[in-house]
Homo-oligomer: A and B are copies of this chain.
């Protein structure tokens, strides 16, 4: 994923789209491998996009497709692909109707939102009409979270779902320092699963959530049972000692 916007880097806006995309890709069985956040600089957007689209099956972008001068994503995407940019006829029709229906002027600024690289297909925006677009394996979406989420929903339904990774979360009253050694042994003994441990700190002491993940159900259950048994052993040892 590529999140675009100076406001994300200045801390003025806290991104909400990355976590949403991450959750929804996981549900769809698509692994999110990398996220980058960069500012509204067209050359840097184009270079970064070229790196990402060549490295991964899909790239999802957020931000920079509104009507103002700092919305530079469409131009940057066109530059990345070496494609000319122009008004997309379907988008023009869509927005002309929409603004006419609301009694608003179809300003030059609003027309900017119809510009896509040549050959792009539109991504529907049920919230406020101005569409996103797809070029090859790149999905260009809005930064406003309601709109990003609506667009993403439309996009994901068109992608082949992978085999979803199942996960089991096991709460653990001990800190990572107590379980680190046995957990490392378990992780080696169960190569078909990944075992993550996520520390929580309540201001005084640590607890942990252990998460076991796998695409193989039997391996998942066997590893989760081994983790639970390990925690019970540790609990017994503690209450004795």
Residues of A at under 8 Å CB distance from B? 6-15, 18-26, 31-40, 66-70, 99, 104-105, 107-110, 112-113, 127-128, 144, 146-147, 165, 167, 176-181, 183-184, 187, 194-201, 203, 206, 211, 213
Contacts and interface: CB of A to CB of B under 8 A. Distances in A.
Contacts of A211: 7, 12
Nearest to A201: B144
Contact of A201 (B108, B146, B203): B146
Contacts of A198: 7, 12-13
A128 B69 contact: no
A225 B165 CA distance: 54
A144 B199 contact: yes
A219 to B, nearest CB: 17
Instruction: Tell me what chain A mostly uses at the interface: helix, strand, loop, or mixed.
Output: mixed
A241 to B, nearest CB: 10
Nearest to A27: B11
Contacts of A25: 11
A19 to B, nearest CB: 4
Contact of A176 (B7, B8, B32, B68): B68
A128 B67 contact: no
B23 A11 contact: yes
Contact of A33 (B9, B99, B181): B9
26 contacts: A10-B22, A10-B165, A10-B167, A11-B20, A11-B21, A11-B25, A12-B198, A15-B19, A34-B37, A36-B36, A66-B180, A68-B176, A68-B179, A69-B195, A104-B177, A107-B177, A107-B181, A108-B180, A108-B181, A109-B176, A109-B178, A109-B181, A128-B201, A144-B199, A144-B200, A146-B203
